[in-house]
Amino acid sequence: MSSNTGNDTEHRLDLDRRQRLGMVEAIWGEHKSAEQIVRILETLHAAGELALATRITPEKAAAVAALLEPAREFQLQHHPQARCLTAGSLPSADPNRGRVAVLGGGTSDLPVAAEAQLALACHGIASELVLDVGVAGLHRLLDRLDALRSATVLIACAGMEGALPTVLAGLLPQPVIGVPVAVGYGVSAGGTAALHGMLASCAPGLTVVNIDNGYGAAMAALRILSSRAAAAS
């Protein structure tokens, strides 16, 4: 992920990442100015690459659009639920590469889940969003188990104590990627309790990414799917 946060005008992008890893480079947008993001988008556009910028507010998205000339050529789109910006045409999903189910314990997990889903879409991976399956109402998750069995990988976003990924990994055989979400009162500590709970999970084989890192979870899923495809070929 491009993460330069300085005021310099030079940026060095990893334009070979798609060839090397099968991923497009993402832009960490939260601490970059609109001007810095525009320069990166212009470089990616010139290289024929799709651009994904994360943590973009509506105000910053509008500022970027105002600076890009001509904006229409860049196919700029802000995705408010995911808090992301894309430039370029997203590829069609290829069902032969597998399908990822992105789960959220509740609506509060939606921004992180939507970021994961958008990052998958940028790489042509089919996904399904499954919300309101938190363990506080376990029957809601149990009702979806049969449908979830057809997914290739599961991404589970959860705040509070972060138990959802552990429950999933104990019930279903697919790879499960846990994403702790910075949601919850007091001792939830901005997602730290969920992170520690997932890391201390008794469900063997659970993978855990950093707090609110929907993008990282999507890239972990992409690596799994790519390895699966390579093994099958």
Q: Among 34, 18, 126, 232, which residue's Cα sits nearest to residue 26?
A: 18
Rounded Cα–Cα distance for residues 209 and 219 (Å): 10
* Residue 69 confidence (pLDDT): 76
pLDDT-based confidence at 11, cuts 50/70/90? confident
Rounded Cα–Cα distance for residues 105 and 16 (Å): 36
Lowest mean pLDDT among 51-65, 71-85, 109-123, 188-202: 71-85
* Residue 54 confidence (pLDDT): 97
Statement: residue 131 has pLDDT above 50: yes
Share of the chain above pLDDT 70, in %: 95
- pLDDT tens-digit map of 143-173: 999 999 999 999 999 999 999 999 999 999 9
Domain ranges of the chain: 17-87, 95-232
* Residue 8 confidence (pLDDT): 45
The alpha carbon dihedral of 189, 193, 199, 200 has a sign of positive
The alpha carbon dihedral of 207, 173, 155, 86 has a sign of positive
CATH of domain 95-232: 3.40.50.1970
Statement: residue 2 has pLDDT above 60: no
Rounded Cα–Cα distance for residues 54 and 32 (Å): 11
Residue with tokens 């399904």: 128
pLDDT-based confidence at 186, cuts 50/70/90? very high
Q: Which residue did the predictor score with more confidence, 11 or 36? A: 36
* Residue 231 confidence (pLDDT): 82
Q: How many residues does the chain have?
A: 233
Rounded Cα–Cα distance for residues 27 and 41 (Å): 9
CA 217 from centre of chain: 6
Statement: residue 1 has pLDDT above 90: no
CA 100 from centre of chain: 11
Share of the chain above pLDDT 90, in %: 82
Average pLDDT over residues 53-77: 90
